Amino acid sequence: MAKTLKSFSGADVLITGGLGFVGSNLAIELAKRKANVTIIDSLRPDYGGSMFNIEPVKDRVDVKVQDLNDFGKTCEAVRGKDFIFHMASQQSHVLWRDEPYSDLDDGIRATVVLLEALKKTKSEPRLVFGGTRGEYGRQKSPVNENAVPNPLGFYELCKLFSGRACELYSRTYGFEFVWARLTNIYGPRSSIKTNASGVVNWFVRLALEGKKIPLYYKGGIARDLLYAGDCVQALLLLADCAEANGEIVNVGSGKPVTLLQVAEKIVEAAGSGSIEFVKADAKRDKQEVGDAFLDVGKLERLTGFRQETGLDEGIRLTANYYKKYLQKYV
């Protein structure tokens, strides 16, 4: 059974995809809490990983630049860990239309390799899997964890399969497991090279460069957004919550906001940029889920989580970060 410790001091922690957006923010927070942090990241181009992301704690974490699909190395990495945060995957929600194999190799296969490594080494950490709100597909919001998944894209389908695989191995081989379905996370350390980096972070780049923020459907679609720091706190609370073992838990703010409202706040925080309404193409229409926000009551009941960073503050912090370090991310 995994340790339960509120500070994580002295805990042995592995983060897959730990040089990416959520993974690096996790690594920084855990290092500050004096955990022994190991990172696996392939540093594949266009996957969002960067050594710069862990600059504040680079001397306090062990970085292994390797492919998670390397079974031998993954076995060594998982051995003796108290907690594993499985955040690794390719990040584009639309890449599958032209090239679906990255999701298979770096999503499903990599997850099964990780699980097989746990089995072979007889490791029993608490595994936190980073899933996605997109697994639900089109649903009436707010969406709770009892909704039947209906993914509209291959990225989301692979996340769903990977979560089910974690669930199966956990039940069969005895390690503890939490499935965290993350909503639209935004904040520092996300790649902003393309619009696959998340709607808020991409909009921030466009605004900082004085460009137009394109809004489909007149910006009327609603999402719930969660600042990266709050996401990290939620993941740590779930990792440290024995009652969350075996559970699927939504991680979000539960507070819907339209993308027009978001874009207006970004333009204000950036001090540049503008908004334009554009027509969606047929491909976007097929994959667009409409209004989508999560019921986060289960997260709050299990862990006592409360969002600390409101949208105005979060956008301001995000804009300020990229104003300072924009050239590191474009």
- The 3-class SS string of 42-79 reads CCCCCCCCCHHHHHHHCCCEEEEECCCCCHHHHHHHHC
The Cα 224–Cα 270 span in angstroms is 21
- Do the beta carbons of residue 13 and residue 232 sit within 8 Å? no
Say which residues have a Cβ less than 8 Å from residue 308's Cβ, sequence separation at least 6: 229, 230, 233
The Cα 31–Cα 9 span in angstroms is 9
- DSSP structure string for 233-266: HHHHHHHT-GGGTT-EEEES---EEEHHHHHHHH
- The model's pTM: 0.94
pLDDT score, position 2: 41
Tell me the one-letter amino acid at 69: N
pLDDT score, position 291: 87
CB atoms within 10 A of CB 321: 18
pLDDT score, position 53: 98
pLDDT score, position 198: 84
Domains plus CATH for the chain?
Answer: 12-186+225-252+299-303 (3.40.50.720), 195-222+255-293+311-328 (3.90.25.10)
The DSSP bridge partners found for residue 87 are none
Strands 222-227 and 256-258: antiparallel
What average pLDDT is seen over the chain?
Answer: 93
The Cα 201–Cα 106 span in angstroms is 23
pLDDT score, position 1: 37
| Ranges in the chain, pLDDT < 50 | 1-4
- 164-192 burial, b at 16+ Cβ within 10 Å, e below that, comes to ebbeebbeeeebbbbbbbbbbbbbbbbbb
Both tokens of residue 76? 């060594």
The DSSP bridge partners found for residue 187 are none
- Do the beta carbons of residue 138 and residue 289 sit within 8 Å? yes
Structure letter (DSSP) for residue 140: P
The DSSP bridge partners found for residue 62 are 38
pLDDT score, position 46: 79
pLDDT score, position 195: 81
Both tokens of residue 164? 């089910």
The Cα 198–Cα 208 span in angstroms is 16
Both tokens of residue 305? 């989580």
> Which segments of the chain does DSSP mark as H helices, in order?
21-32, 71-78, 101-103, 110-121, 154-173, 199-208, 228-239, 259-270, 282-287, 297-303, 311-325
The Cα 233–Cα 252 span in angstroms is 11
The Cα 231–Cα 184 span in angstroms is 10
